[in-house]
Amino acid sequence: MFYFEKIDGKRILKSDLIKDVEAFFTTREICLKSQEFDTTENKKIIAKYLNISPENLISPTQTHSANIDVAIETRQNYPDTDALILTEKDLGIFLNFADCTPVILYDKKQNIGAIAHAGWRGTAQKIAPLTVEKMGTNFNSKPKDIIAIIGPAIGFCCYSVGEEVYEKLKATVKNFDELSEIREGNIFVDLKNINKRQLEEIGIQEIDVCPYCTVCDNDKFFSYRNENATTSRHSAVLKLR
Ligand SMILES: [Zn+2]
């Protein structure tokens, strides 16, 4: 179940499924990435809320790849990276979104986490399950101990795709029937629930899917499609305790 909270009077979105760490999605009110305006102040506000220095709030350079890296304190630069694993307690990580699906993962047993950027390309490459796999290989995570929260993204109501994208997404899960629909000759897909299904198929049981659509709820979140390719982004943020 998702609910809004405020940092400095600005709304953030949380899920009650994760209580042990700081995991949330920012809104338009507290944007961390934009070429249109300066985001320095917002980064300071978030860093202060997380009780870390702003330089310890790390974000990768996202390129719709399936590359997964591990955040480390001495390194700021993560080129060509669309999922970041977090194991250090004095670091915070964030990734940026405007329609693509944000997936926050938290392993309550190992106390480590990750954020994945799953647009259609990332979802077609199964970036969320791949991130879980890497958490397992590198840090001994088990899917049964992992909680996933799937954040605001373009919804089933609004996300129409071409046949090629449809075919690629369809190939990633066993039964695609409820995850796509044809309306007035256009193919619509449910990107958030495709990610959910991918995670369920590798054994993750606790998953919360955000009801908000970035197009329908464009007053709260950014939408690349609905806002003429805006460079502003809302973010998924994670900090361990
Ligand atoms: Zn919608």
Instruction: Kindly report whether the global pTM for this prediction surpasses the value 0.85.
Output: yes
CA of 154 to the centre of ligand 1 (A): 6
Of the CA atoms within 13 Å of residue 80, those in its CB half-sphere come to 1
Domain that holds residue 76: 2-239
* Strands in the chain per DSSP E: 2-7, 10-15, 22-26, 57-58, 68-70, 83-86, 92-97, 101-107, 112-118, 146-150, 160-161, 180-183, 186-189, 206-209, 234-239
In the structure encoding, which two tokens stand for residue 202, read together? 């590798």
Domain count, the chain: 1
- Per-residue pLDDT reduced to its tens digit, 180-203: 999 999 999 999 999 999 999 999
Q: Please state the rounded mean pLDDT for residues 163-174.
A: 98
> What's 133's domain CATH number?
3.60.140.10
CA of 213 to the centre of ligand 1 (A): 5
Query: In angstroms, what CA-CA distances link 18 with 171, 176, 218, 226?
Result: 30, 28, 25, 30
pLDDT for res 233: 94
Is 90 exceeded by the pLDDT of residue 83?
A: yes
- pLDDT band per the 50, 70, 90 thresholds, residue 228: confident
Measured CA to CA, the distance from residue 135 to residue 146 in angstroms comes to: 10
CA of 49 to the centre of ligand 1 (A): 31
CA of 187 to the centre of ligand 1 (A): 14
CA of 216 to the centre of ligand 1 (A): 4
CA of 214 to the centre of ligand 1 (A): 7
Contact by Cβ (8 Å): 13, 232:
no
Number of H helices, E strands in the chain: 5, 15
Measured CA to CA, the distance from residue 132 to residue 130 in angstroms comes to: 5
